[in-house]
């Protein structure tokens, strides 16, 4: 073998060795973010940016937040057709704030969420359900606490439950949401929306890193 061919061969080998040592970026995956006006036009674009910055890969994030929707509205919309997800890798859901505003029967609202989870399980690899946020009203926040607890006790078929939003928004001194994170009585401001998106990102990346993790039945 001539010296020039030897050098060429070494260059190829070095290149292959370098590729072997280079971390492989996760492939593009899909996320469906379901909810009400807290989600709509707010959380999905932030989540997409955060996921892409964290992984270096492209992500498809569907915005399935609908302002004014209750758990019953979202349940019925899902039941009418799979508009909410072309079989996403991850389905995220945070719904119930409008039920809280109207003081709906908590068991009925939880039952509607269970039906949604059943729909989602037909086409989604991972289903992540989050606590709804506290509000700036003590009475509404008390409803939300009971609702979230009932979800924890009764919901099944979920891959991951999230309490992180509640933990960061709830102010135990006032029994309401933290005012510095809220735009109005019910909705987070930009800082609050960033917190929600970052919490979703962290859970997704954890599940992505260990896709064979068994289903979790406690809130994290």
Q: Per residue in 37-63, pLDDT tens? A: 999 999 999 999 999 999 999 999 999
Q: Which of 78-92, 117-131, 151-165, 196-210 shows the lowest per-residue confidence on average (mean pLDDT)? A: 78-92
Alpha carbons 170 and 214: distance in angstroms, whole number: 29
User: Whose structure tokens read 């059943």?
Assistant: 118
Dihedral sign (CA 215, 23, 92, 186)? positive
Mean pLDDT for 105-113 is 98
Question: With bands split at pLDDT 50, 70 and 90, how would you rate the model's confidence at 208?
Answer: confident
Q: Which CATH number among 3.40.50.300, 2.60.60.20, 3.40.50.1110, 3.30.499.10 corresponds to the domain 28-209? A: 3.40.50.1110
**Percent of the chain clearing pLDDT 70 (strictly above):** 80
Is the pLDDT at 218 greater than 70? The verdict is no
Q: Which of 11-15, 79-83, 136-140 shows the lowest per-residue confidence on average (mean pLDDT)? A: 11-15
Is the pLDDT at 100 greater than 80? The verdict is yes
pLDDT digits (tens, 9 = 90+) for 179-203: 999 999 999 999 999 999 999 999 9
For the chain, the average pLDDT equals 84
Question: With bands split at pLDDT 50, 70 and 90, how would you rate the model's confidence at 84?
Answer: low
């Amino acid at each position: 073998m001539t010296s020039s061919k030897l050098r060429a061969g070494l260059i190829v080998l070095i290149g292959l060795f370098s590729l072997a040592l280079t971390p492989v970026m996760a492939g593009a995956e899909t996320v469906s973010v379901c909810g009400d006006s807290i989600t709509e036009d707010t959380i999905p674009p932030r989540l997409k940016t955060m996921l892409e910055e964290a992984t270096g890969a492209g992500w498809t994030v569907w915005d399935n937040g609908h302002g004014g929707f209750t758990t019953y509205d979202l349940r019925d919309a899902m039941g009418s057709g799979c508009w909410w997800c072309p079989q996403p890798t991850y389905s995220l859901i945070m719904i119930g704030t409008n039920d809280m505003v109207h003081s709906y029967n908590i068991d009925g609202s939880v039952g509607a969420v269970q039906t949604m989870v059943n729909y989602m399980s037909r086409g989604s690899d991972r289903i992540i359900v989050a606590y709804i946020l506290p509000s700036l009203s003590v009475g509404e926040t008390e409803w939300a606490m009971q609702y979230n607890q009932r979800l924890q006790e009764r919901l099944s078929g979920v891959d991951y439950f999230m309490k992180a939003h509640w933990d960061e928004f709830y102010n135990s001194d006032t029994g309401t949401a933290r005012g510095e994170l809220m735009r109005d009585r019910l909705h987070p401001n930009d800082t609050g929306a960033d917190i929600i998106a970052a919490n979703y990102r962290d859970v997704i990346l954890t599940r992505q890193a260990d896709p064979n993790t068994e289903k979790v039945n406690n809130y994290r």
